[in-house]
């Protein structure tokens, strides 16, 4: 089992910045992806960014150049620095960690944190 604790989020004006943090504890595999998904009202949950095995990063096209994901392996914590925020970035942001083992990958989710960007 993996437990995720999120922090950050809130209300910000367009063009502003926010930083999300997610600390993981428990049974974290050596081959692991950590990242953030978001869900806007009436829309499906989508990948924002993740970092795989602490090295490889993936970003949604809509956030490239504005968001940066990083990970502190010693603390099992992942950060999402969000700059130049836009109203369309509004949504609930969920921390995710995915363990890769011999069987199918296993996902764990945080409780979600609200990000609201006002125009």
Could you tell me if 32 and 107 are in contact, meaning their C-beta atoms sit under 8 angstroms apart? no
Q: Could you give the CA distance from residue 68 to residue 66 in angstroms, rounded to a whole number?
A: 7
| The predicted structure's pLDDT at residue 86 | 97
Residue 88 burial (C-beta neighbours within 10 Å; 0-12, 13-18, 19+): exposed
Could you tell me if 22 and 112 are in contact, meaning their C-beta atoms sit under 8 angstroms apart? no
Could you tell me if 68 and 85 are in contact, meaning their C-beta atoms sit under 8 angstroms apart? no
pLDDT tens digits for range 23-53:
998 887 877 899 999 999 899 999 999 999 8
| The predicted structure's pLDDT at residue 88 | 96
119 residues of the chain, pLDDT tens digit each: 899 999 999 999 999 999 999 999 888 787 789 999 999 989 999 999 999 987 899 999 999 999 999 999 889 899 999 999 999 999 999 999 998 888 899 999 999 999 999 99
CB-based burial, 90-116: b 16+ in 10 Å, e otherwise: bbbbbbbbbbeeeeeeeebebebbebe
| The predicted structure's pLDDT at residue 111 | 95
């Amino acid at each position: 089992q993996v437990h995720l604790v999120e922090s950050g989020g809130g209300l910000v004006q367009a063009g502003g910045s926010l930083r999300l943090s997610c600390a993981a504890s428990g049974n974290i595999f050596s081959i692991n992806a950590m990242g953030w998904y978001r869900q806007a009202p009436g829309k499906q949950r989508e990948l924002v960014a993740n970092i795989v095995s602490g090295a490889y990063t993936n970003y949604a096209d809509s956030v490239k150049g504005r968001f940066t994901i990083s990970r502190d392996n010693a603390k099992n914590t992942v950060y999402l620095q969000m700059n130049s925020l836009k109203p369309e970035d509004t949504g609930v942001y969920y921390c995710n960690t995915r363990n890769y083992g011999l069987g199918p990958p296993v996902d764990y989710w945080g409780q979600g944190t609200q990000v609201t960007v006002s125009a």
